[in-house]
A = this chain, B = another copy of it.
Amino acid sequence: MFEAPVQKLIDELARLPGIGQKSAQRIAFHLLHVEETDARRLAEAVVEMRERVRLCARCFNVTDSEECSICRDLRRDPSAICVVERAQDVVVVERTHEFRGRYHVLGGAISPIEGVGPEQLRLRELIARIEPEGVTEVIVATNPTVEGDTTALYLARSLKPLGLTVTRLASGLPVGGDLDYADELTLGRALSGRREM
């Protein structure tokens, strides 16, 4: 056991994802030895994020205003919505510069094992956007996992009757990858999704 204030910080750090006891100790002693202003800046960044960040009233992306910067951007095409599981996925899709529509953050994926059903996700909020925003295409960008696939299927079934085009991100070989290293599931998807050249 370390002196109380050090141990307390180690305990708090060890609760973070991916941080074990050893890393927590290392970080705590690092914070003990850096300039006091550096340590304070970290603490303030945590508090400030919690005080300022909330969810976009329209798409549930993170934002520091009523609506997120993407929903506020008039150059974005409102007729296409890209549906993602979590807010951090918005940035991942944005980095491709391939999508110019808006987003919708579901807040997770359907997972019977973890007790997450469609009613725990922001599906009603998605459907409510379709008409007023003039949405014609929904691109489902949930993860290529059992849960993501199940959610995609559920979305397709709910949205297609509304006359929407529902598409799903292609699954297949990662660019720059090696056939040798591809698992059979990915390779199977790449085969069944093959395209004429």
Contacts and interface: CB of A to CB of B under 8 A. Distances in A.
A73 interface: no
- Chain A interface category by residue count: 35 or more
Contacts of A40: 46-47, 50
A88 to B, nearest CB: 5
Most buried by B among A3, A11, A12, A15: A3
A48 to B, nearest CB: 5
A28 B49 contact: yes
Contact of A86 (B13, B23, B29, B36): B29
A32 B62 contact: yes
Given A3-B63, A45-B12, A32 B18 contact: no
Contact of A2 (B13, B15, B26, B91): B91
A5 B49 contact: yes
Contacts of A27: 16-19
A173 interface: no
A53 B32 contact: yes
